[in-house]
Chain A
């Protein structure tokens, strides 16, 4: 068995609006290096919330254990980093080990495609090499490198978002509904290319999707999700487990 990258025990994140609320509960999840994980569930079930917890951009309200140990990195107690407000440590882990693809790309509109992709490498002071041309070629965006994101199609933008997320060779790739805004054919094409790409890069992939059929075909391990009202209907609780 390979090393555990994420280990979550009894992690809770709540969002309260007046007296009604939503609670995400993770009794126990272990994600191993180079695993390909899918979070599947209907919209509003907390997939994005869980992705943000994995991405270290959202703090848990409660956690008996929440550790991250990226391949080639140290083990950190994420809950403790949040509680002690070690934001710079969290930024450092994000920047070195995580690539994040947002549903709508999240590209910076004022930078060209090339500059968007180069940004994570610049932040780590990595030298310029052939990784950007080669990733761009595999993703089929090498002709778009000098354009601004605003001129690209939705599908092209998502390819750029993947390129940016992978440019600095992170060991963890998080993709939150990366193909939700695309037509099914384009979506399948992109995901096939991405799956092919990460196989060679030894990456742990966690992706969220509401498209069941899609996930089965791609050979991903699904986390079980169930949800329903609790505490006399005051709270809508969603649970993810191994």
Chain B
């Protein structure tokens, strides 16, 4: 067996022989590393999900036109094809975009605002499907509660108009296919297929809607245009560009640009805090680990002297404490990871619901675990090499007599 092979064997045998002491070193390492990882996990979890939530909140990405205009089919197609646009859909005049809803389980009749929707609507990303025809509807949570309906319930929708001096009312039997989260939209809103929104406007304007069997004057289909739109940028970083583009085309718009810059500065500030904690923690961890490994080399001086007496070369002797530091580093890291994962589960399962957060409070990505291992190994080996060099430097006769 080579000297290196022997040193590996001996350092491991000594490590397991002194398992109580080794256990203490491992526990001491984990005791410093685990809280650091939990702190990181919390910081990372909170920062990431907060920033993601702020960035992903569609309200921050909405660009709203001021006043009304004329936007034709070609305009919508052009904007839908822009990379910076995630979703755009026509709006009709606000007064024409309402209907009265009545359910069998609630007495009151609710007037709701209608919004056209389609697949990919940022307000409804969490829902599996969107209305595929004029008879399907998605209600905001507020509206659903007031009407006391749930998914798959049927609901009566009615529209009224003054037509040729008479008051007319038509009814539609709609299916509630889903309920939209209260966080996304807090008003009484019904998301419907664009066709239903257009039918509503046509009916209120006194025109005929042949597909629903509603009478009225003939419709001129040739130059259909819309007075307004609902538009969302793909990310908050695209908002500024789209605002400028729309304004250059003479469209006055409003966007949450102030809030967007707030989100961006929060993102930056939290990152700074994160790194300050990371650096201070890592420095403290280095000193603590370095001190305990240095002390171990001192404790091992006698045994190391005997090995030199037996003819081990000084250079190889340095390996002995370095290898033991390596064992401590790997085992301590493993223990810290176990402790961390336990706390991560506890925090996310029991603490997060109490704080009324549906976001993950504490988590690390696998990269972070390897960073922790690399840092631990680096510090451990450095400390042990410095200690080991000192051990190899003293005369071999030193330490023999205290045996």
Contacts and interface: CB of A to CB of B under 8 A. Distances in A.
Contact of A106 (B13, B395, B400): B400
A2 interface: no
Contacts of A46: none
A105 B303 CA distance: 12
Given A48-B401, A52-B397, A106 B309 contact: yes
Contacts, number: 74
Contacts of B400: 52, 57, 102, 106
Nearest to A95: B311
A65 interface: no
Interface in A59-76: 59
B395 A119 contact: no
A87 interface: yes
B397 A57 contact: yes
Given A55-B309, A119-B310, A125-B1, A110 B397 contact: no
B403 interface: yes
A34 B397 CA distance: 25
B17 interface: yes
Given A91-B308, A94-B309, A106 B397 contact: no
Nearest to A48: B401
B35 interface: no
Interface string B1-33: 101001000100110111000000000000000
A201 interface: no
A92 B310 CA distance: 9
B343 interface: no
B403 A106 contact: yes
B161 interface: no
A57 B309 contact: yes
B396 A123 contact: no
Contacts of B10: 108, 110-111
A211 B303 CA distance: 28
A108 B304 CA distance: 10
B1 A94 contact: no
B314 interface: yes
A106 B3 CA distance: 19
Interface string A119-131: 1101101000000
A58 interface: yes
Interface residues of A, number: 30
A92 B10 CA distance: 19
Interface in A16-65: 48, 52, 55, 57-59
Nearest to B402: A104
Nearest to B302: A106
Given A57-B396, A104-B403, A106-B400, A94 B17 contact: no
B17 A109 contact: yes
A240 interface: no
B310 A94 contact: yes
B306 A87 contact: no
Interface in A92-151: 92, 94-96, 100, 102-106, 108-111, 115, 119-120, 122-123, 125, 148
A7 B149 CA distance: 108
A87 B397 contact: no
Contact of A100 (B6, B307, B309): B309
Given A52-B397, A102-B400, A108 B312 contact: no
A104 B400 CA distance: 9
A88 interface: yes
30 contacts: A52-B400, A57-B308, A57-B309, A57-B395, A57-B397, A57-B400, A58-B397, A87-B314, A88-B314, A88-B315, A91-B313, A91-B314, A94-B310, A100-B309, A105-B403, A106-B403, A108-B306, A109-B17, A110-B10, A110-B13, A110-B16, A111-B10, A111-B13, A120-B311, A122-B6, A123-B3, A123-B311, A123-B312, A125-B1, A148-B17
Interface of A: 48, 52, 55, 57-59, 87-88, 91-92, 94-96, 100, 102-106, 108-111, 115, 119-120, 122-123, 125, 148
Given A88-B315, A91-B312, 20 more contacts: A52-B397, A52-B400, A57-B305, A57-B396, A88-B314, A91-B308, A92-B311, A94-B309, A95-B310, A100-B309, A102-B400, A102-B403, A103-B401, A106-B403, A108-B303, A110-B17, A111-B13, A115-B13, A120-B311, A123-B6
